[in-house]
Amino acid sequence: MTAPLRQNGPSPEELWEMDRAHSLHPWTNFGPFEKEGSLLIERGEGCYLWDGAGRRYFDAVGGMWCTNIGLGRAEMGQAIADQAVKLGFANSFVDVTNGPSALLAAKLAALAPGDLNRVHFTTGGSTAVDTAYRMVHFYQSCRGQPQKTQVIARNHSYHGSTYISQSIGKRPGDRVAEFRYKESGIHHISAPNFYRAPEGMSEAAFTDHLIAEFEAKLAEVGPENVGGFFAEPIQASGGVIVPPEGYLPRMAAICRQHDILFIADEVVTAFGRLGHWFASQDHFGFQPDIITCAKGLTSGYIPLGALIFSDRIWDVMAEGGDRWFTSGFTYSGHPVSCAAALKNIEIMEREDLLGNATRTGALFQSRLGALRDLPMVGDVRGAGLMICVENVADKASRTLLLDDLDVGKRISDTAEAMGLLVRPMGHLNVMSPPLTITPEEVEFVATTLEAAIRQVADDLTRIGVRLS
């Protein structure tokens, strides 16, 4: 890498080495990390990132499902700076609050569907899911149902990286032998992935099959013991699994019937990713009891998460007035984070970024959907501005390539060399660009990714891998 001239501070090479010598990154793969270190990102503007050598990339990953308004916005920096100077911290334990936190709670209540009028701030998505799990227990206990401690979630889901949120999630790649997961009291059912449905099954029959599986699981655990159901409306990190028509409303109806709280984990799908503030009601037509969110809430400028929950839950928990909800964090309702979220939402409203996500999202889906015709591409699925390309060895049988070939990584490395960042996840490549993406940029993503897939397919064929 050629180092640009520096007046002050360490060079990119020195930073790269400091990181390699001292950091443990999320999801570190020790061997490659110790050998190759990490790509040093130095600057971001809109949908673009620049590395330490000054090379520019189109970031189709959107940071990590989160840079919704795009990077480098001076007014975000100003809002954060102004609030940091005015009140850089205030705790919100028990009975203290601050202006940005109160304003943001009211704003989220106004934007969230139905009677989701109560907000509890956390530090990110994992702590929001973790708190939702605890709220299930608290709420059910207050209702006189303390035995309703069991929860149900889905395979291939990702809900975060605390002990509980990662135990609720169940992506095969995340479960390693060296870590421990909470097994008791957390049950998993199938992901609603129609691409992997039994051969010959119609979408409607697949939905019935999933519903029957949920009901069978409830019968097994006993609905009287189940307190909550956790579901991402679209399973993002599991490979952008878009559920079949009618599945989520039917799951929600069953939950309601058995007094099971439906926790919609909208850490990815909220704040415009599907063209709505929240996807549960506006995109999928169901009313959850709790929404967990983070990421797009501040577009990644600063950490913040939240649970938005119903008046009904509040009323049950608050009944009698003498209980203590002993959960929360030093940084819950952090004034600087909340000021950033308010500015972020204001920018989304002013620039109609939800409208752009709907319009350009439709183009994004159709243009990238055309990659289905390429060799090795088994499925392209998504909605709005989130999408996944699933690579296979055999398109007819949907057989996967060998794990060792690391096809997603080969494609992302090839695309990276062409100036495009896409995220590899095993045999998948996923994307979630900023909501500001233009039709020209959609074209760039589609043509570059196509070139990368073709090149990798040629390389694999050359080394003797059979693709059909």
Ligand X SMILES: Cc1ncc(COP(=O)(O)O)c(C=O)c1O
For residue 165, the minimal CB distance to ligand X (Å) is: 6
How many residues line the site for ligand X (CB under 6 A)? 15
Contact pick of 67, 68, 101, 126 for ligand X (by CB under 6 A): 126
Q: What is d(CA 452, CA 223) in angstroms, rounded to the nearest whole number?
A: 49
Residues 6+ apart with CB under 8 A from 70: 45, 46, 47, 299, 434, 435, 436
Minimum gap (Å) between residue 394 Cβ and ligand X: 30
Q: Least separation, in Å, of the C-beta of 451 and ligand X? A: 28
Q: What are phi and psi of 235, to 5 degrees?
A: -75, 100
Interface of this chain with ligand X, residues 286 to 315, rule: CB under 6 A: 294, 305
Residues 444, 364: Cα–Cα separation, whole Å = 11
One of 125, 228, 244, 408 touching ligand X (CB under 6 A): 125
Q: Residue with CB nearest ligand X? A: 125
CB of 296 closer than 8 Å to CB of 319: no
Chain positions 149 to 208 lying near ligand X, rule: CB under 6 A, are: 158-160
221/223 Cα distance (integer angstroms): 6
Q: Which is nearer to ligand X, 268 or 342 (CB)?
A: 268
- Binding segment for ligand X (CB under 6 A), chosen from 13-21, 92-100, 118-126, 204-212, is 118-126
Least distance CB 443 / ligand X (angstroms): 27
Could you say which of 59, 232, 379, 441 contacts ligand X (CB under 6 A)?
232
Q: Give yes or no for residue 423 binding ligand X (CB under 6 A).
A: no
Burial status of residue 326 (CB atoms within 10 A of its CB: 0-12, 13-18, 19 or more): exposed
Q: Considering the complex, what minimum distance in angstroms separates the CB of residue 59 from ligand X?
A: 16
Q: Which is nearer to ligand X, 125 or 288 (CB)?
A: 125
Q: Does 129 help bind ligand X (rule: CB under 6 A)?
A: yes
Q: Is 268 in the site for ligand X (CB under 6 A)?
A: yes
Choice from 44, 100, 124, 382 touching ligand X (CB under 6 A): 124
Shortest Å, Cβ 431 to ligand X: 14
User: Residue type for 415, please?
Assistant: A
Q: Answer for the pair 365, 383: CB distance below 8 angstroms, yes or no.
A: yes
Choose one: 81-89, 180-188, 229-237, 367-375; the region binding ligand X (CB under 6 A).
229-237
Query: What letter does residue 307 receive in the DSSP assignment?
Result: E
Q: Which two tokens stand for residue 433?
A: 């660009």
**Strands annotated E in 346-422:** 377-383, 386-391, 420-421
Q: What is the DSSP code string of 99-117?
A: HHHHHHHHHHHHHSSTT--
* 130 belongs to the binding site for ligand X (CB under 6 A): no
The gap between the terminal CA atoms of the chain, to the nearest Å, is: 38
Cα separation, 393 vs 402, in Å, equals 8
Closer residue to ligand X, CB minimum distance, 432 or 436: 432
For residues 200 and 409, give the distance between their C-alpha atoms in angstroms, rounded to a whole number: 31
Q: Is 236 in the site for ligand X (CB under 6 A)?
A: yes
Structure tokens of 25?
């990154």
Cβ 261 to ligand X shortest distance, Å: 16
Query: Which of these segments, 230-238, 346-354, 361-369, 407-415, binds ligand X (CB under 6 A)?
Result: 230-238
Task: Rule CB under 6 A: say whether 67 interacts with ligand X.
Answer: no
Q: Which CB atom, from 129 or from 226, has the smaller least distance to ligand X?
A: 129
CB of 2 to ligand X, least distance (A): 34
Backbone phi, psi, residue 156, to 5°: 65, 20
Footprint on this chain of ligand X (rule: CB under 6 A) = 124-126, 129, 158-160, 232, 236-237, 265, 267-268, 294, 305
